[in-house]
Amino acid sequence: MGCMHSKSSAVDDIQESGFKGKDRSRDLSLIQMDIHENGSRRVYDVDGREMERKISLFEKQRNERAESLAAINSRNPTPVRVPKAAEGEQVAAGWPSWLSAVVGEAINGWLPRRADTFEKLDKIGQGTYSSVYRARDLISNKIVALKRVWFDNLDPESVKFMCREILILRKLDHQNIIKLEGLITSRLSCSLHLVFEYMEHDLTGLAARPGEKFTEPQIKCYMKQLLSGLDHCHRQGILHRDIKGSNLLIDNNGILKIADFGLASLFDPDCSIPLTSRVVTLWYRPLELLLGASHYGVEVDLWSTGCILGELYTGRPILPGKTEVEQLHKIFKLCGSPSDDYWRNLHLSHAAVFRPPQHYRKCIMDTFKELPPVAIGLIEKLLSVDPSQRGTAALALNNEFFTTSPTACDPSCLPKYPPSKEIDARLREEEAGIKRNSGRKNQASARKLPPDLQSNPGYNNANEEQMQMSQSRGEAFSSQQDKTVSGFLVGPLKEQRGSKEPRKYQIEHYQKPASYSGPLIPVYGIGKAPTDQDHCGTITARSRLSMHSGLLARRTGYGNHESSGASVPSSTNKVGRFSGPIHGMEPHMRRQDSKYHSKRNSDTGPVEDGRIQTKESALHYREPEGNKMYLSGPLLVPSNNVDQLLKEHDRRIQEYSRKTRVTKYRTSKRYVYRKVLG
């Protein structure tokens, strides 16, 4: 027997179900109702006579679904529980079958939202595989963030990996983790919108605000929230695998939430399931992943957390390597090289190649001597080269760093910042850069041009225009003259008129550049959005901006070709671009993958380690001539001398830079003018 209903609910139920009993006029307070497990209802009058109107389970569910749908599409913005998670039901409720088949568990209890119940306001972020918009939920009138992800719904793998983010987000429920509030689907389109609560800031944006310096209680407050969120993830068996400033969102109440679970993965505490090592943005990537580890756990997120802690204190990324080789070298120089035992027990393919011949002493203490000792202590712990020494998020939360005065402030005491995102910071800096450079350029050209040309406004304008173009291209890669990028030659980016969305990235061609003698490596081309050619153009200035991912990438000259002559594209810190021994590609990997596939495929085992398949890989999405990219393959042959390796690496980058500068100059107007006019 089912439960006995209260009077009022029985009344409501009867009224709702359209009960028209012959004794309708009788005192309803005396009516009793039983609901059986099979969903049928029996209603008795005061005399115990059955006033039956049986409702089948099917009918009951249909009614509930209709109610839920009506609520969703009319006034109730929150997803309503669908009584049963059967795939058929979900399809009937409006979910596309391909989604229901893969992610039924995650959407169980939800109903899809319709796109026309949101008003898109502006674009606030451009991820590698997604565009993020600020939007108004027309039902609740609340501001939300819509993350539009692209995938290939005909490719089950692509769907599966896209769905992993949803499944993982649905498993998490913590105040320091971004909340997935709903999904907008379409049966026809290959895109899906994830509806999130809207966050006004990200840590990168806040840290990059001019003159901004966090106080110690503020740093502790952010760190506490980050570690609490991480602790929750890890307890749920989830690794984030892309902890960095731009993925730590902060709302106007100072609450920090970990976002972007696109690279997250379920993990086995015994580390018995192999995972890919091609994860985590380069500057935040731990030693073991750089060495190709495929059995790892929570320690990878703790390493990234250590990098964030150092960054919050110093105001700049602490390990900004341009290539994986350089990243390793920077780690050794700061954190010391691991012990002989570490190397002996490692059994990693790249370990022998990258083991430095000399021992590096740990010098975290010296490097951060200005910092409070407790902060240095925690940084040392989190940046232990031996992963087993890093502890856990819970242990870090108990570290004396948090108990020593001054302690963390309350999030509500944090200053109220104007909207600041990584993307805003970059735009600001780009604009300032354009002004600075165009001013300089105009002065220079005014000085050197012959008087007749100086007075020709067309000439100067053209110059400026050119300058601005190269500036904005500089977001994607520092300049045309710096096409050598961490071991890859990257062609210039071409803008397509009218393009709004970033292209869909695919592993497209395998080609061997003339100058290259190493193994074949995949070249990341740019696919088309499925629906409309015009709609899938190139990356907008804004979107390119978001490719940077360090807290203060620009401040450190990152992406600035003037600083070193060996510029790195904005994406470099996400990409292990060095394609030498670490990432040499195998011909069997010649396949056309959707970008999502290539990103999300990253966890099916170490066999994938050869593929550049994480989100960073798609950052080769510049479009050089002929829609092809020129990757040079490994710049270096493996050597056991890291210093020599780096030196040679730099030399080649410099050489290529010089050559491209010369070429650029020879094609410049000034050169032509000199040649023609003597």
Ligand X SMILES: Nc1ncnc2c1ncn2[C@@H]1O[C@H](COP(=O)(O)OP(=O)(O)OP(=O)(O)O)[C@@H](O)[C@H]1O
Give the residue numbers marked as catalytic: 242
The reply on whether position 289 binds ligand X by CB under 6 A is: no
The residues with which 248 forms a beta bridge, in sequence order, are: 258
| Nearer residue to ligand X within complex by CB, 130 or 602 | 130
| Nearer residue to ligand X within complex by CB, 123 or 329 | 123
CA atoms within 13 A on the CB side of 14: 26
CA distances from 209 to 200, 205, 304, 419, 463 (A): 14, 6, 22, 10, 31
Closest by CA to 485, choosing from 561, 595, 583, is 561
- Of the candidate spans 121-129, 284-292, 323-331, 557-565, the one that interacts with ligand X by CB under 6 A turns out to be 121-129
Q: Which of 100, 153, 247, 540 binds ligand X (CB under 6 A)?
A: 247
Amino acid sitting at position 21: G
500 labeled binding residue? no
Q: Which of 43, 145, 526, 568 binds ligand X (CB under 6 A)?
A: 145
Closest by CA to 595, choosing from 4, 161, 21, 144, is 161
Helix (H, G, I), strand (E, B) or coil at 107: helix
The reply on whether position 634 binds ligand X by CB under 6 A is: no
- Long-range CB pairs of 445-450 (<8 Å, 24+ gap) are 445/670, 448/670, 450/677
The reply on whether position 125 binds ligand X by CB under 6 A is: yes
- Of the candidate spans 85-93, 120-128, 392-400, 439-447, the one that interacts with ligand X by CB under 6 A turns out to be 120-128
Helix (H, G, I), strand (E, B) or coil at 205: helix
Amino acid sitting at position 391: G
| Nearer residue to ligand X within complex by CB, 128 or 153 | 128
CA atoms within 13 A on the CB side of 55: 18
Q: Which of 72, 124, 507, 545 binds ligand X (CB under 6 A)?
A: 124
Where do the H-state alpha helices sit in 383-421? 393-397, 400-403
Nearest approach, Cβ of residue 251 and ligand X (Å): 8
The reply on whether position 390 binds ligand X by CB under 6 A is: no
Task: Spell out the SS3 assignment of 569-580.
Answer: CHHHHHCCCCCC
Are 283 and 321 within 8 A, CB to CB?
A: yes
The reply on whether position 421 binds ligand X by CB under 6 A is: yes
Say which residues have a Cβ less than 8 Å from residue 431's Cβ, sequence separation at least 6.
none
Angle at 154 between CA 153 and CA 158, to 5 degrees: 60
| Nearer residue to ligand X within complex by CB, 391 or 569 | 569
| Nearer residue to ligand X within complex by CB, 128 or 185 | 128
Q: Which of 72, 132, 184, 335 binds ligand X (CB under 6 A)?
A: 132
| Nearer residue to ligand X within complex by CB, 17 or 189 | 189
Helix (H, G, I), strand (E, B) or coil at 531: coil
Amino acid sitting at position 25: S
The reply on whether position 559 binds ligand X by CB under 6 A is: no
Nearest approach, Cβ of residue 587 and ligand X (Å): 28
Q: Which of 152, 231, 311, 422 binds ligand X (CB under 6 A)?
A: 422
Region 259-278 residues binding ligand X, contact defined as CB under 6 A: 259-260, 262
| Residue 165-204 contact track with ligand X, rule CB under 6 A, x = bound | -------------x-----------------xxxx--x--
The reply on whether position 603 binds ligand X by CB under 6 A is: no
Measured in whole angstroms, the distance separating CA 475 from the mean position of its chain's CA atoms is 18
The reply on whether position 163 binds ligand X by CB under 6 A is: no
Residue numbers belonging to the annotated binding site for ATP: 147
Residue numbers belonging to the annotated binding site: 147
**Positions that interact with ligand X (CB under 6 A):** 124-125, 127-130, 132, 145, 147, 178, 196-199, 202, 242, 246-247, 249, 259-260, 262, 421-422, 615
